[in-house]
């Protein structure tokens, strides 16, 4: 399970700065879900090459009224979702009653936190942390979030070494297609799960997961093994109560990361909203194959259906390679068609291609539409090979390959997608140029030429002086 870290503390102690440092990898990927995360923000970071999820919270001011009460509720929700809690204090301001209030609140709730003394730059670290030693935290973490100092050692202590972050082997489940179902509350996720499990099933059983009650439901259909990954506490129908309050963003992000294929559910009655776009965007950034399921399609009049199809085509134009299904999870209409798209997305995400095949596609694409000229030289793309799966990664080698424009990258992606028949999954490209054996020698040569020129000028000046001296003597 991906570790989750919550960052809490008073206002203006540097929580957001620390959050930005923790999530700086992968372009500080942030999932800001409107409505549900108004006062807390979720991001993804990496430590020793392994992922973790960070949660930024609003400042706790110790006031249980008005907006402060709402922010305190958001912070407590983040603490409940987290594996580790970072309590950030201001090393310049010293220990304040607000800090003591938060510490007392955490201890009464039985929360074990790491005390992080921020803003220790420009002063003696021991002196900055002196006031906090009597609080009983061991060790004290001294950092400067603004200057990215002490962050690595903080993560070493909080998350442990690389070996401790290895994926749980029980989560791999070799051979099974991991299917995550994502969507807003009340979009029909639990109804779809029950419909899937009740149709042509061979083996079904509930397998309780982590302390956050993540549920993985293995089942088989037509000689293929699947595992449904719950994102909102799915139980048997009589136990399901979907409410906004029970929606867990962390569960959704973790489920997306563990899945091979993600079914993004959209409520046809409400249309596509920003939160749907955030969820789909996170799945694509994670490199997961996406299948779109527009639920509650039954009972809509023809005019509304036409409008919704045009609206989805326009808003999801960037996802034109993913299949879209119009279903009724309640009545089962169109649900059986999802399997074909799930299988196609998984097969595309896990496909293996030979270097010769990928190189021939590259050469044909270059012949049909040559790369542009950059800095006075034509980009030359020579060969390609596969660099990974889920998502497929294609590594392209050539001269000035790292200067390939984004438009030409999209052209190559569309070409490979068409020829290889890749569906549902994004394709990642990596462009590599060979090391220049003369790189670094240019400055050396220029320096030698300047030295030679300087010696020549000295020799010329010396000759001129000797010539003038002889003329005077003559």
What span, in angstroms and rounded, lies between the C-alpha atoms of 463 and 466? 5
Which of the four pLDDT bands, split at 50, 70 and 90, describes residue 352? very high
Q: Which domains does the chain have, with CATH numbers?
A: 4-165 (3.40.50.300), 173-349 (3.40.50.300), 355-432 (3.30.300.20)
Token code pair at residue 283: 């799945």
Q: pLDDT at residue 344 above 90? A: yes
**For residues 152 and 232, is the Cβ–Cβ distance under 8 A?**
no
pLDDT at 459: 76
**For residues 17 and 66, is the Cβ–Cβ distance under 8 A?**
no
- 325 strand-pairing partners: 293
What span, in angstroms and rounded, lies between the C-alpha atoms of 245 and 36? 8
What span, in angstroms and rounded, lies between the C-alpha atoms of 143 and 120? 6
pLDDT at 347: 94
Q: pLDDT at residue 427 above 90? A: yes
pLDDT at 123: 73
- Among 13-27, 35-49, 176-190, 387-401, the minimum mean pLDDT is found in 35-49
Residue % of the chain over a pLDDT of 70: 79
Q: pLDDT at residue 471 above 90? A: no
**For residues 181 and 193, is the Cβ–Cβ distance under 8 A?**
yes
- What average pLDDT does range 200-211 have in this prediction? 35
**For residues 260 and 178, is the Cβ–Cβ distance under 8 A?**
yes
**For residues 232 and 242, is the Cβ–Cβ distance under 8 A?**
yes
Which of the four pLDDT bands, split at 50, 70 and 90, describes residue 239? very low
pLDDT at 343: 94
Would the pTM of this model clear 0.75, i.e. be above it? no
| Higher-pLDDT residue of 457, 31 | 457
- Tell me the torsion sign for CA atoms 330, 336, 338, 342: positive
374-380 LR contacts (CB < 8 Å, sep 24+)? 374/400, 374/403, 374/405, 375/400, 375/403, 379/403, 379/404
What span, in angstroms and rounded, lies between the C-alpha atoms of 299 and 305? 10
| Higher-pLDDT residue of 5, 50 | 5
- Among 124-138, 290-304, 384-398, 404-418, the minimum mean pLDDT is found in 124-138
Strand order in the sheet with 141-142: 30-31, 40-47, 50-57, 4-9, 84-90, 113-118, 141-142
Q: pLDDT at residue 165 above 50? A: no
- What average pLDDT does range 459-473 have in this prediction? 76
pLDDT at 353: 94
pLDDT at 256: 82
Per-position DSSP letters for 231-274, written without gaps between them: SS----GGG----GGG--HHHHHHHHHH-SEEEEEEETTT---H
pLDDT at 27: 33
Q: pLDDT at residue 368 above 70? A: yes
């Amino acid at each position: 399970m991906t570790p989750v870290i919550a960052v809490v503390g008073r206002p203006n102690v540097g929580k957001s700065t620390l959050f930005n440092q923790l999530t700086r990898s992968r372009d500080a990927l942030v999932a800001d879900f409107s409505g549900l995360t108004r006062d807390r923000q979720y991001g993804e970071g990496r430590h020793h090459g392994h992922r973790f999820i960070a949660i930024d919270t609003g400042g706790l001011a110790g006031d249980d009224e008005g907006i402060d009460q709402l922010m305190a509720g958001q912070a407590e929700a983040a603490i409940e979702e987290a594996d580790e809690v970072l309590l950030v204090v201001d090393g310049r301001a010293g220990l304040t009653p607000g800090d003591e209030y938060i510490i007392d609140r955490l201890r009464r709730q039985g929360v074990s936190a790491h005390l992080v003394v921020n803003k220790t730059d420009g002063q003696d670290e021991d002196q900055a942390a002196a006031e906090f030693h009597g609080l009983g935290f061991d060790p004290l973490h001294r950092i400067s979030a603004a200057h990215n100092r002490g962050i690595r050692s903080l993560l070493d202590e909080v998350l442990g070494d690389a070996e401790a972050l290895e994926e749980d082997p029980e989560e791999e489940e070799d051979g099974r297609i991991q299917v995550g179902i994502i969507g807003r509350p009340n979009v029909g996720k639990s109804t779809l799960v029950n419909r899937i499990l009740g149709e042509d099933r061979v083996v079904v059983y509930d397998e309780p997961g982590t302390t956050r009650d993540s549920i993985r439901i293995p089942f088989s259909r037509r000689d293929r093994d699947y595992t449904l990954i719950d994102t909102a506490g799915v139980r048997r129908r009589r136990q399901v109560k979907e409410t906004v309050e029970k929606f867990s963003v962390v569960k959704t992000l973790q489920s997306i990361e563990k899945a091979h294929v993600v079914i993004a559910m959209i409520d046809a009655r409400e249309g596509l909203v920003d939160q749907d776009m955030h969820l789909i965007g996170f799945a694509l950034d994670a490199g997961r194959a996406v299948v779109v399921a527009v639920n509650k399609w039954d009972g809509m009049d023809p005019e509304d259906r036409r409008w919704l199809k045009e609206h989805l085509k326009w808003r999801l134009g960037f996802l034109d390679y993913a299949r879209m299904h119009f279903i009724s999870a309640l009545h089962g209409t169109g649900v059986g068609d999802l399997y074909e798209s799930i299988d196609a997305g998984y097969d595309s995400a896990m496909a293996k291609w030979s270097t010769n095949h990928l190189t021939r596609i590259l050469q044909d694409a270059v012949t049909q539409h040559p790369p542009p000229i950059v800095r006075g030289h034509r980009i030359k793309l020579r060969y390609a090979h596969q660099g990974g799966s889920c998502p497929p990664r294609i590594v392209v080698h050539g001269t000035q390959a790292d200067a390939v424009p984004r438009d030409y990258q999209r052209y190559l992606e569309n070409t490979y997608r068409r020829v290889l028949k890749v569906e549902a999954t994004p394709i990642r490209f990596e462009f590599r140029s060979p090391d220049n054996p003369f790189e670094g020698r240019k400055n050396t040569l220029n320096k030698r030429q300047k030295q030679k020129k300087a010696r020549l000028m000295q020799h010329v000046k010396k000759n001129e002086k000797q010539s003038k001296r002889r003329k005077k003597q003559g």
